[in-house]
Amino acid sequence: MVLKIVENLGVKYLKGTDEYKSKLEHELRKLKFPYKALAEDDYDARRKDHISHFILRLAYCQSEDLRRWFIQQEMDLFRYRFNELSDPLVQQFLEYVNLLYEPISKDVKKRLKDELFMSTPGLSAEKVEEQSFYKIPLQDAQDLIRVRRVLLNYGFALVPHQDMVVIILNNYRTKLSKALALTARSLPAVQSDERLQPLLNHLSHSYIGPDYSAQKNTGKISLEQIDALSVKSYPICMRQLHKALRENHHLRHGGRMQYGLFLKGIGLTLEQALEFWRSEFIRGKIDADKFDKGYAYSIRHNYGKEGKRTDYTPFSCMKIILSNPPSQGDYHGCPFRHSDPELLKQKLQSYKISSTGISQILELVKGMHYQLACQKYFELTHDVDDIGFPLNHPNQYFVESQKLLSGGRELKKEMSHPGSSQLKPTSQESINSSSATTTSNNEADTELEGLDEYFAED
């Protein structure tokens, strides 16, 4: 969880600015994360931190992507914590990790003053005088040498204190990378341990969020219900797709993917799906034969019954908003993102949304808060004050809607909701149990905000 926060803040604020630092400190403090290195007496918290780090190593060593993400976040966190260290603590730390670099003497520094100044961009002449410069062997300073941002002197790189973090980060990255490779090799042995296996699986998935591919609710939906469901419990994107399918008896590929996988997520079996699409397409220009030859294959493919047999997961909001924008004749995508505001307004009016509601939605759309707009849509169509959870996934919308309509939960604001807690790794939850409930909404907010900021950078 800490790392997710690190990632979000890294997107939101320019890394290294004061805003970033104070926000990170704030978040870490909330999590009771021992952010004051070597000074905190909280053995327990630090122990938890260590344990969770190693557990994360197990969870994230499995693929190149996961490793890269993990290393990136750990490095950002490390950089932050290292920069917070005072000089004597830096010295202590260097000794502790056995990176015994000596600073150059005052005389040498005086002699090389001008050269040091000219070789370290970003360092004023005063800083050159104040800061210590360390003698680093060439192999440890490669990144600085490659871009010529350091003075080389008879086989050593003379690195100022403020760049030491680069040297150490490199060292850390190399060590972490090697460790992950080793971890991956010992993974099979670990995975067979029953205690760890569910935890590990959950961890790397919770990075993406629940993917709704688990067929817990298969077979609970009947085809006759779909029309009604599309009005009551579908998010607006799927409602639009369903309507287009009924009207045109056809959907293009993008639409078939997005809607088809959604249907799988809400519980439609392969047989049901085939019947559903077939019966609709036949009403249009496609005859039964053509359907069986062409479209049936790809439906089966979606269910993992063809080709490489990947069981495709329904698209999350992020994915729908960010990839594959619709063109003329397409009905997929996110209407809040992809529809023209005028058309969106008309559509909402046709869905009998109040005009105040519509203006609220349009405001959010203008601010590019597409998921918040959809949340508002949920609130308006379900007549609740507060949706009670951050919306990330169309299937989540559906599940929550169904719950609400069948009286499965309270209408008012909730603190710890199953929907939101699914977004955190449960191991962190048990470890940071005291802070879990209070921070769940905040953390989710941060995540959501982080996403919005991401669009702002477009």
Partner 1 sequence: WAVTRGMEKGYFARREFSFTLRDDIYVRYQSFERPQDLEKELQKACPYKVDIGAVYSHRPSQHNTLRSGAFQAQEKELVFDVDMTDYDDVRGCCSSAEICSKCWTLMTIAIRILDRALVEDLGVQHRLWVYSGRRGVHCWVCDDTVRKWSSSLRSSIVDYLSLVKGGADTVKKVHLSDPVHPFISKSLRLVEEYFEQYALLGQDILGCRESWDKVLALVPDRPPLREQLQQDFPRKRDSVQRWARLKALSSSSSKKLPSYTEQEIMLQFCFPRLDGNVSKGLNHLLKSPFSVHPKTGRISVPIDIQRLEQFDPFAVPTISSLCRELDEANDEDKDKENEEDPESRRRVRDYKRTSLAPYVRVFECFVEDMERARRGELLRRSDLQGDF
Q: What minimum distance in Å lies between the beta carbon of 114 and partner 1? A: 8
| Class of residue 137 by CB neighbours under 10 A (exposed 0-12, middle 13-18, buried 19+) | exposed
Q: How far is the CB of 148 from partner 1 (least distance, A)?
A: 5
Strand order in the sheet with 151-153: 102-103, 133-137, 156-160, 151-153
Binding residue for partner 1 (CB under 8 A) from 148, 246, 285, 290?
148
3-class state of residue 137 by DSSP? strand
Q: How far is the CB of 144 from partner 1 (least distance, A)?
A: 9
DSSP 351-411: TT--HHHHHHHHHHHHTT-HHHHHHHHHHHHHT-S---S----HHHHHHHHHHHHTT-S-S
Binding mask 104-143 toward partner 1 (x if CB under 8 A, else -) reads: -----------x-xxx-x----------------xx--xx
How many positions of this chain bind partner 1 (CB under 8 A)?
19
Of 138 and 415, which has the nearer Cβ to partner 1? 138
Residue nearer to partner 1 on the CB measure, 143 or 379: 143
* Contacting residues for 439 by C-beta, under 8 A, at least 6 apart: 30, 31
Tokens of residue 177, six digits: 């990378």
Q: Which of 18, 132, 45, 124 is nearest to 86 (CA)?
A: 132
CB-nearer residue toward partner 1: 71 or 90 = 71
To the nearest whole angstrom, how small is the minimum distance from the Cβ of residue 137 to partner 1?
A: 9
Can you tell me the distance from the alpha carbon of 167 to that of 175, in angstroms, rounded to the nearest whole number? 12
Which residues are part of a known binding site for [4Fe-4S] cluster? 237, 317, 334, 374
DSSP string, 298-317: HHHHHTT-STT---PPPPPH
Comparison of 119 and 396: residue with beta carbon closer to partner 1: 119
One-character DSSP codes across 79-93 = HHHHHTS-HHHHHHH
Q: Which residues are annotated as a binding site?
A: 237, 317, 334, 374
Which CB, 116 or 423, lies closer to partner 1?
A: 116
In the chain, the amino acid numbered 180 is L
Binder to partner 1 among 41, 43, 64, 146 (CB under 8 A)?
146
d(CA 136, CA 101): 6
Q: How far is the CB of 173 from partner 1 (least distance, A)?
A: 13
Judged by beta carbon, residue 138 or residue 223, the one nearer partner 1 is 138
CB of residue 116 vs partner 1: minimum separation in angstroms?
9
x/- track of binding to partner 1 for residues 152-181 (CB under 8 A):
xxxxx-------------------------
For the residues of 220-273, what is the DSSP string, one character each? ---GGGHHHHHHHTS-HHHHHHHHHHHHHS---HHHHHHHHHHHHHHT--HHHH
Least distance between partner 1 and beta carbon 120 (Å): 8
Site string for partner 1, 70-109 (x = CB under 8 A): ----------------------------------------
Nearer to partner 1, 115 or 449 (CB): 115
Residues 6+ apart with CB under 8 A from 63: none
Type of residue at 186: S
Among 100, 147, 189, 228, binds partner 1 (CB under 8 A): 147
Among 45, 145, 179, 270, binds partner 1 (CB under 8 A): 145
Task: Kindly tell me which of 156 and 259 has the beta carbon lying closer to partner 1.
Answer: 156
Residue with tokens 């085809």: 223
Cα angle vertex 60, ends 57, 63, to 5°? 135
Q: Min. distance of Cβ 141 from partner 1 in angstroms?
A: 9
Q: Using alpha carbons, select from 367, 381, 389, 357 the residue that is nearest to residue 451.
A: 367
Residues forming contacts to partner 1 in the complex (CB under 8 A) are 115, 117-119, 121, 138-139, 142-143, 145-148, 151-156
